[in-house]
Amino acid sequence: MLDQRLLRENPELITEQLGRRGMSVDLTGLQLIAKQERDLEEQRSNLQAEGNRIGKEVGALIKGGAAPGSPEVMELREKGNRIKQQVAVLEEEEKNLQVKLREQLMTFPNLPLAETPEGKTEADNVEVKRWGEPRTEGELEEHWQIAERLGLFETERSVRIAQSRFITLMGQGARLERALINFMLDLHTGKGYREVMPPILVNTASLTGSGQLPKFAEESFRCAEDDLWLTPTAEVPITSLHRDEVIPADQLPLRYVSYTPCFRREAGSYGRDTRGLIRLHQFNKVELYWFCHPDQSAAAHEQLTVDAEAVLEALELPYRRLELCTGDIGFSAARTYDLEVWLPGAGSFREISSCSTCGDFQARRSAIRFKEGKSTQLLHTLNGSGLAIGRTMAALLENGQQVDGSVKLPAALAPYVGSDTIAAQ
């Protein structure tokens, strides 16, 4: 959420930075609400101070010998009661304005960092790194063709169980998925991340705090009779792991890794990637998450991204790192690196991880602060996939396919699968 103080003191900066995202905004109405709220706060504070002064005066009179029911004392008490009533009215008006202001500020995305490159669409993203040598020989199968031939998943039966865009992993496919989850968790915990397995049902406050609501309500699955939603990513519950908390500065950074199933409606994406593992309503993901000191967030963003890249390198999967432009970064992000893995069967790079620094955007929405000496301030949050499991499996199948129809697995993963090859059974 954007800082209300920034709205009052430097609205031009908000307009300028949202303009870099391709948004044209008029903040006049919000500024008026913010001014009204500040004026009410000042009136209330002055009245409360006057009420406190009267209370002390009454106490002094009684201590000096005046009877509690004397005209002088009663007149002051009546005046104090009138002030209390006025304060109550102002508090209610102030609260209503605060709610209105917060609701409108919640709809604005984060401001991009100065380092985020200018651009309007994904075509303006900047490639900053490549790793590995992509396979480019012809006649390579796509992952869904390999999986169907080897019996790794069921598509038609999954529609019978649920609906389209769901998949049932079978046999070696299920084993490979489980192996990838364990491999990634072991790799990241070995780097010092603390493993978390949070609830996958989250409440509205959790989705709001991470920035998913109110904007992306149509993308999420909601339980009709409860204030609960199926989590779209472990970023949501982990953000709320420390909601409304003050963390001692010497405990930062806090680094978490979490495996969760994730659920997304993928609204507006129908007709794209309808076969295989790329775009599903339910998928597994290992998420990396940092709570850090603001002074550490730039270095933390680089380290988080390197930790996600380490999975691809250990699995011998060629990839590239892109820096997203201002028009393509996510709602809560201030700066983002996307990792795209090479899929030789499809002949293209596909996103497999998005690593973002959110500044204090999520921390403000979730009231997460840190204390350093006598000072208490908002911390910074960062998140990134480490990695999306289904897309990793797709990349392994396409990059490891052999002329005999089998799939060769990387050496780092073989102990988790119990074999270095997946073949027809």
Q: What percent of the chain has pLDDT over 70?
A: 98
> Is 21 tagged catalytic?
no
**Assigned domain for 112 exists:** no
Supply the pTM of this predicted model. 0.91
> Is 398 tagged catalytic?
no
**Assigned domain for 282 exists:** yes
pLDDT at residue 59 in the model: 86
Contacts for 122-129: CB closer than 8 Å, 24+ residues apart: 122/324, 122/325, 122/328, 124/325, 124/327, 124/328, 125/322, 125/323, 125/324, 125/325, 125/328, 125/338, 126/322, 126/323, 126/325, 127/320, 127/321, 127/322, 128/321, 128/322, 128/323, 128/337, 129/320, 129/321
pLDDT at residue 266 in the model: 75
pLDDT at residue 272 in the model: 61
Highest mean pLDDT (candidates 52-66, 79-93, 217-231, 333-347): 333-347
Q: Are residues 276 and 354 in the same domain?
A: yes
Q: Are residues 142 and 100 in the same domain?
A: no
DSSP string over 366-419: HT-EEEETTEEEE-EEEEEEEEEHHHHHHHHHHHHB-TTS-EEPPTTTHHHHTS
Last residue of a domain, one of 105, 131, 162: 105
Q: Are residues 212 and 348 in the same domain?
A: yes
Q: Are residues 132 and 203 in the same domain?
A: yes
Q: Are residues 393 and 304 in the same domain?
A: yes
pLDDT at 128 over 80: yes
CATH of the domain at 129: 3.30.930.10
Range of the domain at 250: 122-422
Query: Which residue did the predictor score with more confidence, 169 or 67?
Result: 169
pLDDT at residue 270 in the model: 56
Q: Are residues 44 and 137 in the same domain?
A: no
Query: What is the arithmetic mean of pLDDT over 236-250?
Result: 98
> Is 20 tagged catalytic?
no
pLDDT at 268 over 60: no
> Is 391 tagged catalytic?
yes
Label each residue of 44-92 as H, E or C. HHHHHHHHHHHHHHHHHHHHCCCCCCCHHHHHHHHHHHHHHHHHHHHHH
Q: Are residues 296 and 353 in the same domain?
A: yes
Q: Are residues 316 and 377 in the same domain?
A: yes
Q: Are residues 156 and 274 in the same domain?
A: yes
pLDDT at residue 271 in the model: 58
Token pair in block for residue 317:
């999967």
Q: What percent of the chain has pLDDT over 90?
A: 85
Q: Which of 3-17, 60-74, 216-230, 331-345 has the lowest mean pLDDT?
A: 60-74
pLDDT at 354 over 90: yes
175-186 residue pLDDT tens: 999 999 999 999
Q: Are residues 185 and 71 in the same domain?
A: no
Catalytic residue among 20, 364, 365, 391: 391
**Assigned domain for 344 exists:** yes
pLDDT at residue 423 in the model: 96
Q: How many whole angstroms separate alpha carbon 119 and alpha carbon 85?
A: 54
**Number of domains composing the chain:** 2
**Assigned domain for 358 exists:** yes
Query: How large is the angle between the packed helices 172-189 and 389-400, nearest 10 degrees?
Result: 110
pLDDT at 269 over 60: no
**Assigned domain for 151 exists:** yes
Residue 137: phi, psi to the nearest 5?
-65, 155
Catalytic residue among 279, 313, 316, 419: 279
pLDDT bin (cut points 50, 70, 90) of residue 67 is: confident
Least Cα distance to 353 among 131, 157, 73 occurs for: 131
**Assigned domain for 363 exists:** yes
Q: How many whole angstroms separate alpha carbon 388 and alpha carbon 391?
A: 6
> Is 351 tagged catalytic?
yes
Catalytic residue among 264, 321, 335, 364: 264
**Assigned domain for 115 exists:** no
Catalytic residue among 210, 258, 354, 356: 354
Catalytic residue among 57, 91, 219, 351: 351
pLDDT at residue 75 in the model: 87
Residue 123: phi, psi to the nearest 5?
-65, -20
Query: What is the arithmetic mean of pLDDT over 276-284?
Result: 93
Token pair in block for residue 108:
């604005």
Whether 7 and 98 have beta carbons less than 8 Å apart is answered as no
pLDDT at 154 over 70: yes
* 341 Cβ contact partners less than 8 Å away, ≥ 6 residues apart: 312, 317, 318, 319, 349, 350, 352, 391, 392, 395
CATH of the domain at 80: 1.10.287.40
Last residue of a domain, one of 105, 130, 159: 105
Whether 349 and 320 have beta carbons less than 8 Å apart is answered as yes
Q: Are residues 45 and 169 in the same domain?
A: no
pLDDT at residue 47 in the model: 92
Quote helix, strand, coil % in the chain, to nearest 5.
45, 20, 35
Instruction: Kindly report whether the peptide bond that precedes residue 253 is cis, defined as omega within 30 degrees of 0.
Output: yes
Q: Are residues 223 and 88 in the same domain?
A: no
Least Cα distance to 147 among 387, 312, 393, 318 occurs for: 393
pLDDT at 273 over 80: no
**Assigned domain for 114 exists:** no
Last residue of a domain, one of 105, 133, 166: 105
Whether 352 and 339 have beta carbons less than 8 Å apart is answered as yes
Query: How large is the angle between the packed helices 389-400 and 143-150, nearest 10 degrees?
Result: 80
